[in-house]
Homo-oligomer: A and B are copies of this chain.
Amino acid sequence: MALLGIDLGGTKLAFAIFSEEGKILFKESVSLGDRKGSEVGKCITDGIWKSIWQAELQGDGINSIGISVPGISYIKEGTVWAPNIPGWDDYPLLQEVKKISKDIPVTIDSDRACYILGELWQGNARGCHDAIFLSVGTGIGAGIVVNGKILRGSHDIAGCIGWMALRGPFEKKYTDCGCFEYYASGEGIAKVAREFLEDQKDYNGELKNKGIKEITSYDVFAAYYNGDPLAVRVIQLCVEFWGMAVANLVSLFNPEKIIMGGGVFGPAVSLLPAIKEEAARWAQPIGITQVSLEVSALAGDAGVYGAGFLALKHIQEFGL
């Protein structure tokens, strides 16, 4: 048996063929370049052709396909909303893929759902029934598993934790991305640094030399680890927000594990003890002792592993 996992990101597309045990048999990445709309769909179907052929070369057929998408997967409709792919407001991905996958079953889910599925299958959440992946990259999302199943909500858009309200009163700047994401995402870190730079005219640290518009979260982390006072303020504010968010997940879900991942973890990994300390001040006091806060074991591969597990779960549920 072989499983095909596909991870569609904002800029690249990854394919991996897995054994039933989660071993990668073949893996490939394709840059999306400036593809949009149905060109991205074609890139996916071309890759599926190629993977089916690869699997047959290795003496195995693909038995099930899973696809991770950067947005919302509307399960009943088979359509996808992916804000960073032009023309994917309501893209009929299932229908496109079905044209070439024929009898091979196809399951599509959001990237945040796939991240936690990947960790459950081959990462740091193995054996868990209640676990959460808090993904902090350009944006922020949460893949939430409750009693072994992905939390989908009534219309497939649960886990939008970037919208979490953590600091009242409401400010207009939260309107486009949500309060938590405004402060504590990759983009948020850069944005808050720019705000602080504009306010603090007497600052003369290393971020001053960057063009204010070009500052990235990586610049801020580099300055933070050099002890730059402005960067320290930005990152301390992030630690407060990450800690509050972790606390709220603990108080609401009482999970066994919360896995921190996404591009920012990465450079923020060393902050885990500080985040846990902040969370412990806020969270339900018994629940916080029952949770383990960990970093993603799969990092950039969490999505493709999760897609592979989607494929396997379909077989486990419905048979070959």
**Residues of A near any B CB (own CB < 8 A):** 129-130, 142, 144, 146-147, 149, 151-170, 174-175, 178-179, 240-241, 244, 247-248, 251-256, 278, 281-284, 286-287, 290-291
Contacts and interface: CB of A to CB of B under 8 A. Distances in A.
Contacts of A256: 154
Contacts of A144: 252
A248 B165 contact: yes
Given A160-B287, A163-B284, A146 B154 contact: no
Given A168-B241, A240-B169, A254 B156 contact: yes
Instruction: Count this chain's copies in the assembly.
Output: 2
A149 B146 CA distance: 10
Contacts of A282: 163, 165, 170, 174, 178-179
Nearest to A183: B168
Given A147-B149, A151-B146, A179-B282, A157 B254 contact: yes
Contacts of A281: 170, 174-175
Given A165-B282, A281-B170, A155 B290 contact: yes
Contacts of A130: 153-154
A166 B163 contact: no
30 contacts: A130-B154, A146-B146, A146-B151, A147-B149, A151-B253, A153-B254, A154-B290, A155-B286, A156-B254, A157-B254, A159-B252, A160-B251, A160-B284, A160-B287, A161-B251, A163-B247, A163-B283, A163-B284, A164-B251, A164-B252, A165-B244, A165-B247, A165-B283, A167-B167, A167-B168, A168-B244, A174-B281, A178-B251, A178-B284, A179-B282
Contacts of A240: 168-170
Nearest to A291: B154
A286 B154 CA distance: 12
A248 B256 CA distance: 21
Q: Which A-B residue pairs are the 10 nearest by beta carbons?
A: A153-B254, A165-B244, A163-B251, A165-B282, A160-B284, A158-B254, A163-B284, A154-B256, A130-B154, A160-B251
Contacts of A161: 251-252
Which of A130, A165, A241, A251 neighbours the largest number of chain B CB atoms within 10 Å of its CB?
Answer: A165
Nearest to A169: B240
B168 A284 contact: no
